[in-house]
Amino acid sequence: MTLSYSYVPDYFSLTDILCTEERISCKIEVTLPRLGFLDLSSESEDLKPGAKLELPLWLAQPLNKVRESIISIDIPKTYKEGYREILLADACTVVLNKWNPYYYELGMYLRKFNNRDCEMIIDSLLLTFRSRFRLIMDWAQNPVSDPMLNSLLPRLERDLFLTGRKAKMQLNEWLRKGSCIIETSQSAVNLKKRKRTDYELD
């Protein structure tokens, strides 16, 4: 049985699991009975509106509904306007892995939240990837002096870099083997014979 990795989120994807473990700063919007123990600074039995918590992404997402939000979120600073402007100015100079190892994956999740800044995240992700794609492909196709380069890239870019590097190595290996005589496939020969027979019958 083969597993399909063409959909997101993927239940069997370690990348998706690690990404959704990212903690998001949240503010409680409604009273939550008997959950006061989650706020260590509160002595109340209930979790009161206004209380601030850090919740993992997988838990924060279902609690932040468009119509009945139990929580509101504060998106991570690396996705806010100031950081988006840095990427817009020159995305290729930024070490995205230091911002977040799952920068693109987390950004795709954040765009689904009920937050004004989240509407701008998708455009920023697309522009950033476009700016850095050519650079990553250049690194993959040419010798790179820094052996730690792939550890400086976020997960998506590192996978792209390694895939490109592997393809380049396979191409070089194929070219070193030399060329051989290319023969016509048997199906093409049979098709040519059939066409010739049809032509003669006409």
Please check whether residue 140 is in contact with residue 168, taking contact to mean a CB–CB distance below 8 angstroms. Answer: yes
- Stretch among 23-32, 56-65, 179-188 having the lowest mean pLDDT: 179-188
Does 167 map to a domain? Answer: yes
Does 186 map to a domain? Answer: yes
Please check whether residue 105 is in contact with residue 159, taking contact to mean a CB–CB distance below 8 angstroms. Answer: no
Please check whether residue 112 is in contact with residue 60, taking contact to mean a CB–CB distance below 8 angstroms. Answer: no
Q: Could you report the per-residue pLDDT of 105-126, keeping only the tens digit for each?
A: 999 998 888 777 777 898 899 9
Q: Could you report the per-residue pLDDT of 150-202, keeping only the tens digit for each?
A: 678 999 999 888 888 889 888 888 888 766 666 777 777 777 666 666 555 55
pLDDT tops 90 at residue 23: yes
Does 108 map to a domain? Answer: yes
pLDDT band at 89 (very low <50, low <70, confident <90, very high): very high
Tell me the two tokens of residue 175.
Answer: 């070219």
Do 66 and 119 sit in the same domain of this protein? no
Location of structure tokens 């609690």 = 63
Location of structure tokens 């840095």 = 86
Domain count, the chain: 2
pTM of the model: 0.77
What is the domain range of residue 83?
Answer: 75-202
Does 27 map to a domain? Answer: yes
- Most confidently predicted of 4-13, 83-92, 145-154: 83-92
What DSSP string runs through 59-120? HHHHH--SSS-SEEEE--GGGSHHHHHHHHHHGGG--HHHH-TTHHHHHHHHTTSS-TTHHH
Q: Which of 54, 74, 94 finishes a domain?
A: 74
Do 109 and 188 sit in the same domain of this protein? yes
Do 164 and 88 sit in the same domain of this protein? yes
User: Which residue, among 32, 118, 35, has the nearest Cα to 71 in the 3D structure?
Assistant: 32
CATH number assigned to the domain comprising residue 126: 1.20.58.2050
Do 69 and 129 sit in the same domain of this protein? no
Q: Which of 23, 55, 74 finishes a domain?
A: 74
CA gyration radius, the chain: 26
Does 171 map to a domain? Answer: yes
Does 59 map to a domain? Answer: yes
Do 135 and 192 sit in the same domain of this protein? yes
Do 57 and 79 sit in the same domain of this protein? no
Does 42 map to a domain? Answer: yes
Does 1 map to a domain? Answer: no
Q: Which of 24, 54, 74 finishes a domain?
A: 74
What DSSP string runs through 134-186? HHHHHHHHS--S-TTGGGGS-HHHHHHHHHHHHHHHHHHHHHHT---PPPPPH
Do 46 and 135 sit in the same domain of this protein? no
